[in-house]
Chain A
Amino acid sequence: DQQVKQNSPSLSVQEGRISILNCDYTNSMFDYFLWYKKYPAEGPTFLISISSIKDKNEDGRFTVFLNKSAKHLSLHIVPSQPGDSAVYFCAAKEGGSEKLVFGKGTKLTVNP
């Protein structure tokens, strides 16, 4: 039973446009959410995070939005660059736990 769902296995966008990656969760005890980026043959690397007390966190071209009532979060990349092409994983954790639960990932392709 997937507690963190990324329903789009892939996404393709043009360079310079916005990329929006979506993630839904079912566990209302999750209080911290993260996005990881993974290039082929490498381990996932941390990208950006958000606490459940916020609804937005921004870091350069990357912004994460959290809608707690809908149990939904999204990652916006503006403007998208070819180097952003990777698999993006959404992850979540419950308060008091160190355990991160990951979605299955969305493969982003940014076309020049």
Chain B
Amino acid sequence: DAGVIQSPRHEVTEMGQEVTLRCKPISGHDYLFWYRQTMMRGLELLIYFNNNVPIDDSGMPEDRFSAKMPNASFSTLKIQPSEPRDSAVYFCASSLSFRNRNTIYFGEGSWLTVV
């Protein structure tokens, strides 16, 4: 089974530019999560979807962040405009709610640097 696939693995961009991070969840999983990891805040949940529908976006920092899931095999996290404080590792994760009691599987992360 292929795991959660994220792209790009690394992105360096200038302040003010738009950033789009992409995620392909594990096939058949019905939950998708976007997490952000920073030294200060650790791993924090930004938003999660169930069957492509956003369920909880209370962790999204501000209006500059948006996430979509147009179908069961693809999601995007967009930052527009980007700022240096958005520099972090962004993880996508997916799970199947009725198996293994909510174990979620993470991708390898997208390392974002905003200069």
Q: Hey, which bits of chain A sit against chain B, CB under 8 A?
A: 32, 34, 36, 41-46, 49, 51, 89, 93, 98-105
Which of B12-20, B75-83, B99-107 lies at the interface? B99-107
Do A32 and B102 have beta carbons less than 8 Å apart?
A: yes
- Cβ contacts under 8 Å, B4 to chain A: 43
Closest Cβ–Cβ distance, residue B105 to chain A (whole Å): 7
Do A41 and B108 have beta carbons less than 8 Å apart?
A: yes
Q: Say whether B113 faces chain A, with CB atoms less than 8 Å apart.
A: no
Interface string of B1-36 (1 = CB under 8 A from A): 000100000000000000000000000000101010
**In the complex, residue of chain B having the shortest beta-carbon distance to the beta carbon of A51:** B101
Do B31 and A45 have beta carbons less than 8 Å apart?
A: no
| Number of residues of chain B lying within 8 A (CB) of chain A | 26
Do B42 and A103 have beta carbons less than 8 Å apart?
A: yes
**In the complex, residue of chain A having the shortest beta-carbon distance to the beta carbon of B55:** A98
Q: A46 and B45 in contact (CB under 8 A), knowing A98-B31, A98-B97? A: no
Q: A43 and B102 in contact (CB under 8 A), knowing A98-B50, A105-B43? A: no
Question: 20 A–B contact pairs at CB < 8 A?
Answer: A41-B109, A42-B108, A42-B109, A43-B4, A43-B91, A43-B107, A44-B91, A45-B106, A46-B103, A46-B104, A49-B103, A89-B42, A98-B50, A99-B45, A99-B48, A100-B104, A102-B43, A104-B41, A104-B42, A104-B43
Give Cα distance in the complex from A34 to B93, angstroms.
15
Q: A102 and B101 in contact (CB under 8 A), knowing A43-B108, A43-B109? A: no
Give Cα distance in the complex from A49 to B95, angstroms.
15
Give Cα distance in the complex from A93 to B97, angstroms.
13
